[in-house]
Amino acid sequence: MYETEREVIETLKRNKIDVVSTLPCEKISALLRFVTGERAFCHVGLNREENGVGLSAGVYLAGGKPVMIIQSTGLGNSINAIMSLSVTYKLPLPVIASWRGVYKERIEAQVPLGKAMPRILDALGLKYTIIEDASQIRLVEEVIQDAFITERPHIALISPRTWESSEDVIKENTVLHKTRKWTLKLKYEREIKEPEMIRYDAIRIIAEYLDEEAVISNIGVPSKELYAAKDRNLNFYMLGSLGQASPIGLGIALKTKRETMVLDGDGSLLMSNILPVVAEKKPGNLSIVCLDNGTWGSTGDQPAPSYGDMELKAISAGIANTMKVHTEEELRSALERLYEEAGPRFLHVMVKLGNTEVENIKLSAEQIKRRFMAAMP
């Protein structure tokens, strides 16, 4: 019983996979139950597949070995993150994908993308291996090994036929659920003031306090501003993949004891919806700094749908250690006591509109990756 699923788990263990991120598919329900119950892995449940791309990037940057297990539809959701992050920086990304829409598919909406998936992957130049049935499940090991040897994404498209032997007994499995009973008490009072700093002011102040932290900076102008304020080997500058700064930071924090700081934006955090995942995993060494200007700052300051309170969003996601600042004095005070309590920490920095004219980052994506990884141990 469950021989195929057990073989996948043993393959992951044999290849020293230590972080497995997942988003469910009914066809691989038994496999996911084995993953969540396996102590050899850190399991991270996703609410967006592309966050698994960022998370896996962070895990690898910190010296770990990640795998994603998702449905093939999630590949469609993740294409930009895969291309602009995994491919651009040459990061290994082994993906075990339940291939929907091609075999005894009962959901009509699964068919168009599922049937087109090999052609889409071919067009993108992404490596993939098709697994038609349980006799080919050994190919998962080749997928994993190739991804790490070549530092690229490699996707196993696994037909539902592969898991048919488990379908008749799958209902006998106990689903691993946490209790949903708890007591919630919340009193939250904040006066939201007009900010005094622009984002570059805040970044320059933050840079003064950086010591041995690993820092991930959001794409576009924020990364260029950090580069101008204080270039250091432990800065990971994002060149693309909007929404993936905090997932990368989470992946790094899960694989290192080093303090990890993310310089993220309000729009990026709203796009990723990563905060509930951060709250669930509770990395004590992770600080997320939300530089909130209320706009899409790198593309011309178009208003972003973020005029709600980002600190309150972090609290509602389950993050207990939060602060809000509006001025240089408040920011310095917050940074001086940032590590008094364990993370995850959320520092909400209100800033004015405006980008500072700074030079472009004079490093390629691969240079950014290589020097960051060399500095991490």
pLDDT tens digits, one per residue of 7-43: 999 999 999 999 999 999 999 999 999 999 889 999 9
Domain 199-375 belongs in CATH node 3.90.1150.10: no
**Structure confidence at residue 142 (pLDDT):** 98
Distance CA 361, CA 239 (A): 9
The ranges of the chain annotated as CATH 3.40.50.970 are 3-172, 199-375
Residue type for 371, please? R
Distance CA 116, CA 129 (A): 15
Q: In what order do the strands lie in the sheet with 19-22?
A: 42-45, 19-22, 66-71, 93-98, 153-158, 127-131
Q: What average pLDDT does this structure show over 99-116? A: 95
Q: What are phi and psi of 89, to 5 degrees?
A: -90, 0
CB 344 within 8 A of CB 288: yes
Distance CA 263, CA 69 (A): 28
Cα 361 to Cα 186, 200, 300: the distances in Å are 43, 15, 19
Q: 190 in helix, strand or coil?
A: coil
Residue type for 104, please? K
Mean pLDDT for all residues in the chain: 93
- Whose structure tokens read 């990368």? 248
Could you count the other beta carbons within 10 Å of the beta carbon of residue 181? 5
| 177 — pLDDT class (breaks 50, 70, 90) | low
Q: What CATH class does 3-172 carry?
A: alpha beta
| 354 — pLDDT class (breaks 50, 70, 90) | confident
DSSP structure class, residue 130: E
pLDDT tens digits, one per residue of 309-332: 999 999 999 999 999 999 999 999
Could you count the other beta carbons within 10 Å of the beta carbon of residue 99? 30
Global confidence as pTM: 0.95
What residue spans of 214-348 are helical by DSSP H?
Answer: 221-229, 245-255, 266-272, 275-281, 310-317, 328-336
Q: What average pLDDT does this structure show over 109-123? A: 97
Can you say whether the dihedral through the CA atoms of 254, 256, 261, 265 is positive or negative?
A: negative
What residue spans of 25-138 are helical by DSSP H?
Answer: 29-37, 49-61, 72-81, 111-124
**Structure confidence at residue 305 (pLDDT):** 73
- Whose structure tokens read 């951060």? 278
